[in-house]
Homo-oligomer: A and B are copies of this chain.
Amino acid sequence: MSYAAPLKDMLFVMNELADLAAVNALPGCEEATPETVQAVLEEHARFCSEIIAPLNQTGDREPGGWHDGAVTTAMGFKEAFKAFGAAGWQGIQHPAEIGGQNLPKLVAAACMEMLNSANLSFALCPLLTDAAIEALTIAGSDAQKQAYLANLVSGQWTGTMNLTEPQAGSDLAMIRTRAVPQEDGTYRIFGTKIFITYGDHDMADNIVHMVLARTPGAPEGVKGMSLFVVPKFLVNPDGSPGARNDVQCVALEHKLGIRASPTVVLQFGDYGGAVGTLMGEENRGLEYMFIMMNAARFGVGLQGIGVAERAYQKAVSYAKERVQSRDLQGSAGPVPIIHQPDVRRMLMAMRAQIEAARALAYVTAAAFDVAHHHPDLAVRKQNQAFYEFMVPIVKGWSTEMSVDVVSTGIQVHGGMGFIEETGAAQYYRDARILTIYEGTTAIQANDLVGRKTTRDGGETAKAILAQVRRTESELAASDSPDLAAIHARLSAASRAMEEAVDFITLHIQSDIKAVFAGSVPYLKLCGIVLGGWQMARAALTAEKRLKDSLGDGGGDAAFHQAKMATARFYGDHILPQACALRTAIVEGSSGVLALTEEQF
């Protein structure tokens, strides 16, 4: 099997670190019992391994194409997406009243990870559809909900996000697409959108584009943007897809990776204007788009974890099979390369970073659930702040991590890793988009510094650090040498993060460029430290379980020992980077900014 979901690891994180029981106890989450969750995960794992994963390499090799203005997807994608919808997977995190499964985001997060491990290209379509569903749920009119939600949730139709234009990438203020109001209350849309993922395809009966555009006389910049729903086929009064709308796919990009997911240029309004309806109020488009983007950004973070896990499994499998060289301390013949210390180091580095990023993402998902369902407003607010602080980190750090991990995956394979047929190279190509789309790492870092850290004067950051300190106290109370080592590393790393937070909040007004010169190092620092915090919590749990099982030879001893060793590795090999990043942030701005443009 090319992918086997790490269900035991996932359930460990969900139960021990993300507190699934507490989520299950929330009003509205009663269905997410441990038994149901395990059954859902097992079924999704089977679906991903058997139906979706086999299409990954074939889709990369023969990604479909664009002919006569229409995109056809890779062999098997259409049928797989039908099966996906029919099984109810698109609806997993959406409310029952629109046909969803009403499961918490924590459960959806694990399912998303699996789908992305199986096939990054395929998983993008549901990811964007989820974002469209979320935006419609929150900002759509009753008529819009009526027209679109059920079909999106059932996987009959799919959704897209239309932000980027040739001159407007990271800078959405430069968007030029126009929306002209009509007498019947609709708008006509005119403009060009680029890099539209699944902007055209043959997997669904209709495509619902969420389009950012300007109405006549709207304020300049980001305050003058409105969001429109523009379907590929207009919706008939009976709900069925009707006349073709004036939106055309005019080009298909030739990409480094995720080749099976069509990335297209969409032209709106060449034949009189594409018919669209306004979402919510005029000029509040960016606000609604951010709802979609936060969901999508969290999802992209899971893409990073998913592809990294897939690359890790492939590397482990190769390292166990490939026989080469003797064991350093053995006199016998050649052994599998997993005996070589540096192969071990690479596999541990992959594993440790994946486990940390997964834990951080799932804990973030659980905070989302608490923020949306807890009866106590103060608890909701606190969890919402945590969630919002974490989204750019889950997106930015998990994806930066994934680019590193998939590259290590190639390295484990040696020369075979460079041969396309092996498959490791595909992960290296696929993952490379993850630090770019839905906001580059720098955009995530700007969000983390600007909105999430300095706007409240560092309060949320400090509150999270206080939680880290509590974990440090627990570590200090143990007599385990592993936990002592982890304690030392985490304490040093969390101090580094605190110094960075202080520097940033202190200088954001007086020297904004110096602060932003260290924004990406700060994002990475937060990811490393908070990932290390989760690894420490995992180690504490493992220690407890190992003590509990002493004497009865508990079957999970090996599992918990591995958790401990992986956390120890993370402590010794990953956490020390925090101090280097602190230096770059706090003392490193002059070198960043010294040159004139001409000196480059």
Chain A residues engaging chain B, CB cutoff 8 angstroms? 164, 167-171, 173-174, 195, 253-257, 316, 319-320, 323-325, 328-329, 334, 336, 338-345, 347-348, 351-352, 403, 407, 410-411, 414-415, 417-421, 425, 428-429, 432-433, 435-437, 440-442, 445-446, 482, 485, 512-513, 516-521, 558, 561-562, 564-566, 568-573, 576-577, 579-580, 583-584, 587-600
Contacts and interface: CB of A to CB of B under 8 A. Distances in A.
A110 to B, nearest CB: 21
Nearest to A255: B418
Contacts of A174: 324, 334
Contact of A341 (B420, B517, B562, B564): B517
A420 B254 contact: yes
How many monomers of this chain does the complex have?
2
A164 to B, nearest CB: 7
B599 A256 contact: no
17 contacts: A167-B323, A170-B414, A173-B325, A173-B334, A256-B410, A256-B425, A338-B600, A340-B442, A342-B446, A348-B591, A403-B407, A410-B436, A415-B437, A521-B573, A569-B588, A572-B591, A579-B579
A418 B433 contact: yes
A524 B171 CA distance: 37
A415 B169 contact: yes
A343 B220 CA distance: 26
Nearest to A486: B591
Contacts of A599: 558, 561-562, 565
A348 B171 CA distance: 23
A330 to B, nearest CB: 11
A125 B596 CA distance: 39
A512 B600 contact: no
Nearest to A515: B341
Given A562-B594, A572-B584, 16 more contacts: A173-B325, A174-B334, A254-B419, A254-B421, A328-B513, A340-B516, A344-B595, A345-B517, A348-B592, A418-B432, A418-B433, A482-B590, A561-B594, A564-B594, A573-B583, A576-B583
Nearest to A559: B599
Nearest to A259: B420
B324 A170 contact: yes
Contacts of A343: 442
A206 B357 CA distance: 53
A591 B573 contact: yes
Contacts of A418: 255-257, 432-433, 436
Contacts of A441: 411
A164, A425, A428, A580: most-surrounded residue (chain B CB, <10 A): A580
A173 B518 CA distance: 48
A202 B319 CA distance: 37
A436 B414 CA distance: 6
A482, A562, A570: most-surrounded residue (chain B CB, <10 A): A562
A591 B576 contact: no
Given A414-B170, A432-B407, A576-B580, A342 B442 contact: yes
Contacts of A520: 342, 345
Contacts of A519: 341-342
A598 B329 CA distance: 19
A520 B341 CA distance: 10
Given A344-B593, A577-B577, A579-B580, A419 B512 contact: no
9 nearest CB pairs, A to B: A569-B591, A565-B594, A572-B588, A576-B580, A342-B442, A256-B425, A171-B325, A568-B591, A341-B516
Contact of A324 (B169, B254, B407): B169
A173, A341, A445, A446: most-surrounded residue (chain B CB, <10 A): A341
A329 B513 CA distance: 8
A247 B255 CA distance: 38
Nearest to A407: B403
Contact of A164 (B325, B415, B445, B583): B415
A246 to B, nearest CB: 25
Contacts of A338: 597, 600
Given A440-B414, A572-B587, A420 B255 contact: yes
A566 B580 contact: no
